[in-house]
Structures are given as C-alpha cells and as structure tokens.
C-alpha cells in the first residue's frame, strides 16, 4: 500500500487488528495516527509493526512515571495542571501526535 491517503480510516484500523496491534492504541488514538501520518508528503508503506514500535499512547501519569518526570512541585494541583505540565515536557522532548478525548497522549516513543 502506498501513501496513507489511499487508505481510508476503516482499512487503517483493520490493518492494526490484523497484526493484533489494536491493544497498543485506542480507536481514537488510531484516528489521530491516521490523520497525522496522512500529513506526510512522501509516499510511505503502511508498516503496522513499525508504527507500533515508533508511536505510543499513554496517560500523562504513565508518561511521568515512564520518564521519571518530577511532579513534586505540582503536589496538590489539579489534574489539568499536571496534564499540561507533562504535555509541555513531552513536546520539548519528542513529537506529539495528539490527545484523545479520554486524556491519553499519542506521541513518538523515545
């Protein structure tokens, strides 16, 4: 398959189910990845395994834990401030694909 634009969203989702990678991403995260990858100008092959290795979906709390982000100075703050801090930290260290309505963040794994 060439250029992601030629693949519609249902086929994109089906490709992840075929490789049993759907547990890596929520339905909404796959939609974000589809839109993100469609913005590339070059022709690319759909490589589900590569996408599963290069991109990740996590909550801000999981990200803070995975990357040892110090959140002590935010103790007592609401989740919105903590999420914004983690999102800002992440944007300074990698590319962010987007956030889902559930509050997870899809980004380039590093």
Q: H/E/C letters for each residue in 19-55?
A: CCCHHHCCHHHHHHHHHHHHCCCCCCCCCHHHHHHHE
Of residues 15 and 92, the one with the higher pLDDT is 92
Q: Which of 72, 107, 73 has its CA nearest to residue 93?
A: 107
How large is the average pLDDT for residues 42-54?
A: 83
Total count of domains within the chain = 1
How large is the average pLDDT for residues 51-79?
A: 91
Average model confidence (pLDDT) across the chain = 87
What is the predicted pLDDT for the residue at 6? Answer: 64
Going by pLDDT thresholds of 50, 70 and 90, the confidence category of residue 41 is: low
How large is the average pLDDT for residues 42-55?
A: 84
Domain that holds residue 91: 4-108
Residue 42 has pLDDT above 70, yes or no: no
Q: Give the DSSP letter of residue 7.
A: S
């Amino acid at each position: 398959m060439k250029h992601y634009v030629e693949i519609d969203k249902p086929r994109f989702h089906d490709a992840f189910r075929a490789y049993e990678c759907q547990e890596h991403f929520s339905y909404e995260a796959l939609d974000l990845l589809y839109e993100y990858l469609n913005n590339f100008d070059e022709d690319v092959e759909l490589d589900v395994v590569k996408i599963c290795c290069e991109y990740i979906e996590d909550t801000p709390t999981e990200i803070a834990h995975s990357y040892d982000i110090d959140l002590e100075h935010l103790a007592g703050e609401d989740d919105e401030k903590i999420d914004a801090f983690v999102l800002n930290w992440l944007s300074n260290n990698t590319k962010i694909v987007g956030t889902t309505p559930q509050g997870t963040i899809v980004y380039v794994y590093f």
